[in-house]
Amino acid sequence: MLVEKAQIMDQKAMSRAITRISFEIIEHNKGAGNLYIIGIMSRGAQLAQRIAKRISELEGVSVEVGCLDVTAYRDDKRNNEDKVDRTNLPFPIEGKNIILVDDVIYTGRTVRAAMDAILQRGRANSIQLAALVDRGHRELPIRADYVGKNLPTSRDESVRVSVQERDGEDQVTICIETEE
């Protein structure tokens, strides 16, 4: 059973982190032209929507958003023949600057699966990674370009991101596994 150990970010801290990530994306890409945002399901999709909305407010242009289901591309879950792909990318990948958004980056395996899924759909001009939380412990040479919060954790802890759209509240917590 997972038990909450500590709240790391509340709604205001998450909002500030999303705003900061949005500004960094705009600055690095010199605006929002040719920029497309893809959230990794599930909570990365909600964060991607928020980042796109914030960039649109700041730049005065619409930024297209998609969501990516990486289940079939995971190297740790091979039994996916009967799974439905819930990916929704309403734009072509070819030649676009893609911002891939995830809630937590940990080992890097989910991001690797997401890049495989994107590259299978076309050759993007660039793929950049935004993560609300980077908790370290990488198993692959992947790093986020934009990070809301670096949060060193032990391997026996887990980071839980809750978003209003799915969970009824915005917060990031560290949880530990108990024997109950």
- Which residues, at least 6 apart from 140, have a Cβ–Cβ distance to it below 8 Å? 107, 108, 109, 111, 112
- Alpha carbon distance 64, 36 (integer Å): 5
How does pLDDT run across 110-146, given as a tens digit for each residue? 999 999 999 999 999 999 999 999 999 999 999 999 9
Do 124 and 93 contact (CB within 8 A), yes or no?
A: yes
What does the mean pLDDT of the chain come to?
Answer: 94
- Alpha carbon distance 113, 107 (integer Å): 12
Residue 177 has pLDDT above 90, yes or no: no
Which secondary-structure segment (H or E) carries 133?
A: strand 126-134
Residue at 54: amino acid letter: R
